C-alpha cells in the first residue's frame, strides 16, 4: 500500500465530504495514491466564522497526526485553509490548502480572479488571506451569495445566486476566472462556467490534483 | 467602575505578564480606564510555533467572553496576534493586537520597518501577517535573534543579540524604525534604541496606548 | 507642568479648532499631558488645495518651534498632514499627522478603508499620500461630498452627503471602515457610523490618542 | 485513446527533452492521460535571450496546432513560457507554462521564493514575468549560476554553482523555497534540496502535475 | 546626416502609418533627428491578438537590424510593444515602446490612468504588461470600445465609443488621465480630451518625444 | 516668440543652474521652444532637508506665476520635486518634475532602478515619493554618497563616491539602471555609466526632454 492523500473536510458534514469525494474521484488512478476524504467529527456542521475556522485547528491537527504514517500528503478542504501552516510545521508530509491551490490554479486561467463566497462575513477573512498570499494585484473582487448552510440545500436557488454573483464579478469587476469560495460545490461548476462564460475553479479539485502530483513525484517512477 | 482594558498574554508565563504590566503602567491614569494584564493558564510557557499560536485561540476566546461585560477593550499580547479576528467577530468591544499596533505605530516613525524576531521559524509567520496587513512596501526585513525561551533569561546576551540584529536591519536592510517582535521585552527598549540609533517600538505599549485612547473616546468627556 | 500635546490646526478657523478641542476632550486626564489645540493665524480659512497645504508649512513650522520646549508631542490637524515630515526633521518631539493616524487606526477596524473627502480636488492628493504610506492594498476608495467650506455650515446637508458617500464606499467599493477626510467633523461621527453601519474613524481623535500614549510612555510611570 | 498531455520543449535539444521525459515519468499512470515530450526542431539548441524566446513562438504554435486534436493539455517547457498566452488564445485546450506553474507551486512551499537562473541576462526577463504574474511581494531574488549551455554538461560544476546560488538565495535574500529557472535539470533537484535545506521546485514536474490533474478532471470519473 | 528615429508600425496598414506620421510631425525640427515612420510589410493588417503580437516580432527585428546603422533610436508603434525587449537586447540603440511611454507619460498627468482599448481580448494582455511594468497601484481600468478594425473607419462612431468609455473610466473607475490603447488614433485626441475633461495621452507621440530627446542628448550640443 | 520651457532650479546656486543649462543645451533647436534655466533667489544654497523642500514652494510658485504667460511648460529642477502638484493645480501649463521624469525614464532602460542620493537624510524622502508614484516594485535601492554641498566641489572625490555607490546598487541590490538623485551633476553621467556598466539617467535631461516634446506637440506642426 502506497501513501494516501488525505482530504480533511474540517466540518462535520458527511454530505459535504461525500460531495468532495465525488469531485476528486477522477483524480484516482489504479496505480496512483489512494485518496481518502473524511469529515472532522469535532468540527461544526459548517465553517462560517473566523471563530469556526480557528476552532477546528486543534482537532484537525490531532486527526492529521493519527494519519501521518500512512499519509503521502494532506489537503485541508475548507476555503479558509484552517491550520494550514500549523500542519505544515507539524507534519513531515506536504500540506495543500484548497483556498491557496484554488486561487493559484485560477492564476493560470485568467488575469483577474473573482471569488464567490457564501456569506458576507467571509469576505474580509478571504481578503486577509489573499493579502498574505501576495496576490492582490490579480484580485478582482470577492462577493457573497448570502445564503446560509440550510438555504444551500435549495440547489436551484444556490446556483442562481452563484450565476448572478459570477456575472457581477465578470461584468463589473473585470474577473476573467472565478474560484468557488467553498468546498462541496463541485456539482455546480460546469453549469456556472457555462452561464458566466469564464473558467471556474473548484478548489478541492485544484488542491487534490496538486497533492496527487506531489505524491507521484515523490515515488520511484513505475513507467 | 468604568470599563477595563484587558491585556491578555496568551501564554502562561507570569513573568512575561509582569513585564507587560510594568511596560504599560505609564498608560494608567487616575481618571482613565483600568488596565489589567493577565496570563492564559491554558497557554504554553511561550508561543513559538504556528501550532502554539493556533492552540491558544479557543481558551483565549473563552477567557475574553468571561471578561466581556467589564471590558472596554481587549489587547492580545502576543506578536502573532492569535485569535485577533475571531475575537473581533465575537466581542462587542474593540480588540487590538500587539503585532498590528506595533507595526502601524512604527509606520509613523520611519519609512521602512524592521522586526526583531526571537526564532527563525517566526519569520515566515510574520511575513504572512504583514502581507495580510498590506504593508510589505514599507517592510525592510524580519530577522531572528535565535534564542530559545530559556536562553532569553540571560539578559546581557539577549540584549547583545537584539542590538546586533537591530544594526543589521538598519545597515543592510535600510530599516529606519524597529519593532520588537515579542511581548515582555520592554525593559530592553531604551538600550536598544540608544545602541542602534533608530526608534524602537515596544508593541504592547503601542497597542495599549491605542486601546486606552479608544476607551476614553467612547466615554462622555469629563473635562 | 509636564509636556503638552500641541494640536495645530493649520488653518485659521477658530470654529474648526473649537470642534477639534471638543473632539479630543475625552483624551485629557487629570494626571496626563495637557492637550492644547490652536489655529494658525497665517493659515487660510480652510485648506482646500495643494497650494494651501504647501503654503501653511513654513508658518506652521515656525509656530511649532516656538512651542518646542513645552511640547511632548505635536499633532498636525489637517487631513493632508502638511509639513509632517519637515516637522519630524526639525523637532526633537514626536509628530503625529491626522491623516496618517486616521488611516492606520482604520486598518485595525476593517480590511478595506474608504475615505470621505470634502472636495474632488483632494482625492488625487490623498491617493498620493496613501501611496507614500504604502497602504494601497487596503484602500477601497476616496470619494468627495463636494461641498465647499461655506456649505458645510448647513449641517443637515453635510451629514446627508457624508452618509450618502459612506454608503457608496461601503456598498460599491467594499469599504468596511471609513475615515473622515477632514478635521473638525467629529460631531458627525456617531450619526454617520449608525447610518452606514461600519466603524468611522475621526482622524484627530486617532492622532491625539496616539500622541497622548506616546507622551505618557516617555514619562516615569506614576502608578 | 484518451487525450494526451503534450510537453513541448521549444528548443531543439533532444537531451533536454529526454531529461524532461524522465522527470515527468512518475506522473504517468496506466489509466491516465498519455504524456508526450517533444523538441521543437525549429528551436535553437538553447533558449538564452529574449530574442530566442520570441523566435520560437511561431513554430511552437504551428506545432501545437498539429497536435490540437489529440491534446488534452499543453505544457510549454521553457522557463520563459514562450507563447503561453498566444497558445491559450489559439487552442481549445488548457495550456500550462513551467515558469508560471513552478512559481505558483513554490508559493505553497515557502513564503519567499528564490529562482536559480542560468544566465545573468535571464534575470530581468524573469522579473518582468513575475511582475506580470503579480507575485513580487513573495519574491526573494533571482540569481544566475552564470554557465553557458556547453558548460552545463560539466555536471559537478553545474551542481556546485546551483548549491552556491541556492545558499545565497536562502541566507542573504531570505528565500525559503527555490525554483529551478530552467527545464531539464530535474536530476539535480534532490541533491540541491539536501544541500541548501529548503524545498526545490522543478518547474516541468510542477506544470505537468497540474496538466495531468486538469485532463483527469475533464474526463468522466472511472472510479 | 544624423541618426534617425525609426518608428516601426508592426502592422502592414499604410493608413495607420500615415496617421502616426502626422501625429509625430510636430516633433520634427530642422536641426534635430529625422523621424521616419514605416509599416511592416510582413505584419497583419491590424494587431488584435497575442498571436498577432508574437507573430510580428521576428520580421520586426529583421527590419530593425537593417536600419540599425542609420538609427538613433527605435520606436515600436503598437500598444502591445511587441518585441520591445528582444530589440533592446539586439540593438545598440535605445528602443521605446508606445505602451510603455504612453503609460509612463500618463503618470505625470494624473494619479490613476485609464486605458481605452479597441477589443475586449486586448485587456488581459494589457494588464499583464502593466503588471510587468509594476504600475498597478496607479491603474484605474482598461476598457474596450469593442470595434473591429473595419468598424473603426466609421470615425463618428469610433469617437463616440471612445468618449463613452473615457467617461466610464473617469466616473466609475476614478481615472484622471487616459491613454489611447492603440496607435494611429491621434486625430481623436483633442476631441476626446475636451469631451471627457481629463488629459489624454496619444502613446506614439509620447514615445517619439522621448526618443527625440534621447537622440539629441546623445549628440554634441549645437547651441 | 513661441512658448518657453522654464527650468526652475529652486535653490539659489547659480553654479547648479549653469550646470543644468549646459546639460539641457542639446535639447534646444532652432525652431523649437526656448529653454530658460533660472535659480530661485529666495531658495537656500542647496536643498538638503524636507524643510528646505517645503520652504521653497511658496517662492517657486510665485516665480512661476510671473512666468506663466510666456511659459509652454515648467520643469521643477530639484530631485524632491518641491511644489510639483501645487504648481500643476495653479498653472495652465504642463509641469514636469525631475525626480518623476528621471525615474519614469529609468523604467524604460532597466527592470530595477537604483538611485544615487547625496545625503542619507534624503533617502526616506525619496522612498515616500517613489511610494506615491507607485513604482516600488521596480525599485532596487536608494543609497547616499554622503557628501555635503561643499564637499561636492571636490569633483574627483564626488565621482569616486558615485561610482562606488553605483556599483553597490548594481551588484548588491540588482539595479540595472541608475538615476542621479540630484540636479546639476550631468557632467558625471558618462563617466559613471562607463564605470558601473549600466545606463544612468540624468533627471534634468529626462524632464526637459519630455517638456520640449509636450510643447512641440501643443503647437501646429511646422514640417
Domain residue spans of chain B: 4-98+205-217, 100-202
Q: CA gyration radius for chain F?
A: 17
Q: What is the pLDDT of residues A156-192, one digit of tens each?
A: 999 999 999 999 999 999 999 999 999 999 999 999 9
When scoring E50, E122, E124, E141 by the number of chain A Cβ atoms within 10 A, the one with the most, hence best to mutate, is: E124
In F71-181, alpha helices (H): 84-90, 98-106, 122-133, 155-171
Within C77-190, strands assigned E span 94-97, 113-117, 139-144, 177-180
Nearest CA in chain C to F127: C132
CA distance F146 to F151: 9
ipTM: 0.96
Per DSSP, D137 falls in state: G
CB B46 within 8 A of CB A44: no
Q: What are phi and psi of C189, to 5 degrees?
A: -60, -50
Q: Which residue has the cell 524522465?
A: D22
pTM (two decimals): 0.96
CB E93 within 8 A of CB F100: no
User: Do residue C101 and residue B108 have CB atoms under 8 angstroms apart?
Assistant: yes
CA angle D214, D218, D220 (to 5 degrees): 135
In D118-202, alpha helices (H): 122-133, 155-171, 189-196
Nearest CA in chain C to E139: C136
From the centroid of its chain, how far is CA D139? 17
Q: Which residue has the cell 532637508?
A: F49
Count of CB pairs separated by less than 8 Å, B with F = 12
* Cβ-based neighbour number of residue F4 at 10 Å: 18
CB D182 within 8 A of CB D117: yes
CA distance B154 to B166: 18
**Is the CATH number 3.40.50.12500 carried by domain C100-202?**
yes
* Residue E46 predicted with pLDDT over 70: yes
- CATH topology for E4-97+205-217 is Rossmann fold (3.40.50)
Q: Show which subunits contact A, needing at least 3 CB pairs below 8 angstroms.
A: B, C, D, E
- Tell me the shortest Cα–Cα distance from F84 to chain B, in angstroms: 21
CA distance E104 to E98: 10
| Interfacial A residues in 115-144 facing D (CB < 8 Å) | 133-138
CB F221 within 8 A of CB E25: yes
Please give the pLDDT value at position B220. Answer: 56
Q: Which residue has the cell 533532444?
A: D14
CA angle E166, E167, E168 (to 5 degrees): 90
pLDDT digit string (tens) for chain D, length 223 residues: 579 999 999 999 999 999 999 999 999 999 999 999 999 999 999 999 999 999 999 999 999 999 999 999 999 999 999 999 999 999 999 999 999 999 999 999 999 999 999 999 999 999 999 999 999 999 999 999 998 777 888 999 999 999 999 999 999 999 999 999 999 999 999 999 999 999 999 999 999 999 999 999 997 544 4
Please give the pLDDT value at position A220. Answer: 55
Q: Do domains D4-97+205-217 and D100-202 have the same CATH topology?
A: yes
Q: Give, in words, the CATH class of B4-98+205-217.
A: alpha beta
- Tell me the shortest Cα–Cα distance from C135 to chain A, in angstroms: 12
Q: Is F57 helix (H, G, I), strand (E, B) or coil?
A: helix
- Tell me the shortest Cα–Cα distance from B163 to chain C, in angstroms: 21
**Below-70 pLDDT ranges, chain B:** 1, 220-223
**Of C51, E196, C186, nearest in space to F61 by CA:** C51
* Cβ-based neighbour number of residue B41 at 10 Å: 8
Q: Give, in words, the CATH class of A100-203.
A: alpha beta
Task: Using CB atoms, pick whichever of E123, E131, E141 lies closest to residue A137.
Answer: E131
User: Mean of the pLDDT values across residues E170-186?
Assistant: 96
CB F120 within 8 A of CB F99: no
* Cβ-based neighbour number of residue F82 at 10 Å: 27
From the centroid of its chain, how far is CA B73? 15
CA distance C209 to C222: 19
Burial class (CB in 10 A: 0-12, 13-18, 19+), A176: buried
**Of E149, E150, E92, E97, nearest in space to E122 by CA:** E149
A-chain residues within 8 Å CB-CB of B128? 85, 132
Q: How confident is the model at residue A148 (pLDDT cuts 50, 70, 90)?
A: confident
Q: What is the pLDDT of residues A89-133, one digit of tens each?
A: 999 999 999 999 999 999 999 999 999 999 999 999 999 999 999
**Of D8, D202, D14, D204, nearest in space to D91 by CA:** D8
CB C116 within 8 A of CB C141: no
Please give the pLDDT value at position D1. Answer: 54
**Below-50 pLDDT ranges, chain C:** 221-223
Q: What is the pLDDT of residues C209-218, one digit of tens each?
A: 999 999 999 9
Task: Using CB atoms, pick whichever of C51, C124, C129 lies closest to residue F86.
Answer: C51
* Cβ-based neighbour number of residue E1 at 10 Å: 6
When scoring B108, B110, B111, B173 by the number of chain F Cβ atoms within 10 A, the one with the most, hence best to mutate, is: B111
Q: Which residue has the cell 516633433?
A: E27
**Of C53, C36, C40, C51, nearest in space to C14 by CA:** C40
CA angle C7, C11, C14 (to 5 degrees): 75
Measured CA distances, E3 to B192, E24, E31, E96 (Å): 60, 17, 11, 15
Q: What are phi and psi of F9, to 5 degrees?
A: -80, 110
* Residue E148 predicted with pLDDT over 90: no
CA distance D101 to D113: 13
C-chain residues within 8 Å CB-CB of E110? 124
**Below-70 pLDDT ranges, chain F:** 1, 220-223
Please give the pLDDT value at position F219. Answer: 77
F-chain residues within 8 Å CB-CB of B110? 124
- Tell me the shortest Cα–Cα distance from D47 to chain A, in angstroms: 23
- All three cell numbers of F1: 516668440
CA distance A111 to A115: 13
Instruction: List the helix and strand counts (H, then E) for chain D.
Output: 9, 8
Task: Using CB atoms, pick whichever of D27, D94, D219 lies closest to residue A217.
Answer: D27
DSSP collapsed to 3 states, chain A? CCCEEEEEECCCCHHHHHHHHHHHHHHCCCCCCEEEEEECCCCCCCCCCHHHHHHCHHHHHHHHHHHHHHEEEEEECCCCCCCHHHHHHHCCCEEEEHHHHHHHHHCCCCCCEEEEECCCCHHHHHHHHHHHHCCHHHEEEEEECCCCHHHHCCHHHHHHHHHHHHHHHHHCCCCCEEEECCCCCHHHHHHHHHHHCCCEECHHHHHHHHHHHHHHHCCCCCC
- DSSP 3-state percent helix, strand, coil across chain B (nearest 5): 50, 15, 30
B-chain residues within 8 Å CB-CB of C97? 108
- Average predicted confidence (pLDDT) for chain E: 95
CA distance D19 to D77: 11
User: Do residue D132 and residue E132 have CB atoms under 8 angstroms apart?
Assistant: yes
Q: Give, in words, the CATH class of F4-97+205-218.
A: alpha beta
User: Do residue F57 and residue C61 have CB atoms under 8 angstroms apart?
Assistant: no
Half-sphere exposure of D86 (CA within 13 A, CB side): 27
Please give the pLDDT value at position C166. Answer: 98
What are the CB-based long-range contacts (under 8 Å, 24+) for E180-183?
A: E180/E102, E180/E116, E181/E79, E181/E99, E181/E115, E181/E116, E181/E117, E181/E118, E181/E122, E181/E126, E181/E142, E182/E79, E182/E116, E182/E117, E182/E118, E183/E9, E183/E16, E183/E19, E183/E20, E183/E77, E183/E78, E183/E79, E183/E98
CB B12 within 8 A of CB B42: yes
- Residue C193: in which H helix or E strand, if any? helix C189-196
Q: CA gyration radius for chain A?
A: 17
* Cβ-based neighbour number of residue E26 at 10 Å: 21
Nearest CA in chain B to F135: B137
Residues 6+ apart with CB under 8 A from F158: F145, F147, F151, F152, F188
Amino acid at each position: 500500500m502506497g501513501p494516501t492523500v488525505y482530504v480533511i473536510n474540517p466540518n462535520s458534514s458527511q454530505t459535504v465530504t461525500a460531495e468532495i469525494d465525488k469531485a476528486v474521484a477522477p483524480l484516482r488512478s489504479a496505480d496512483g495514491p489512494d485518496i481518502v476524504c473524511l469529515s472532522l467529527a469535532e468540527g461544526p456542521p459548517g465553517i462560517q466564522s473566523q471563530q469556526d475556522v480557528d476552532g477546528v485547528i486543534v482537532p484537525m491537527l490531532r486527526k492529521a497526526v493519527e494519519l501521518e504514517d500512512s499519509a503521502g500528503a494532506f489537503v485541508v478542504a475548507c476555503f479558509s485553509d484552517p491550520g494550514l501552516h500549523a500542519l505544515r510545521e507539524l507534519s513531515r508530509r506536504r500540506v495543500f490548502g484548497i483556498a491557496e491551490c484554488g486561487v493559484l490554479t485560477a492564476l493560470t486561467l485568467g488575469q483577474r480572479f473573482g471569488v464567490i463566497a457564501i456569506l458576507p462575513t467571509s469576505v474580509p477573512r478571504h481578503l486577509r488571506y489573499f493579502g498574505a498570499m501576495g496576490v492582490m494585484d490579480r484580485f478582482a473582487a470577492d462577493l457573497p451569495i448570502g445564503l446560509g448552510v440550510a438555504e444551500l440545500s435549495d440547489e436551484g436557488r444556490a446556483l442562481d445566486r452563484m450565476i448572478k454573483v459570477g456575472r457581477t464579478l465578470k461584468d463589473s469587476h473585470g474577473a476573467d476566472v472565478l474560484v468557488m469560495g467553498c468546498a462541496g460545490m463541485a456539482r455546480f461548476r460546469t453549469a456556472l462556467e457555462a452561464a458566466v462564460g469564464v473558467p471556474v475553479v473548484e478548489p478541492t479539485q485544484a488542491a487534490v490534483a496538486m497533492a496527487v502530483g506531489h505524491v507521484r513525484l515523490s515515488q520511484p517512477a513505475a513507467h
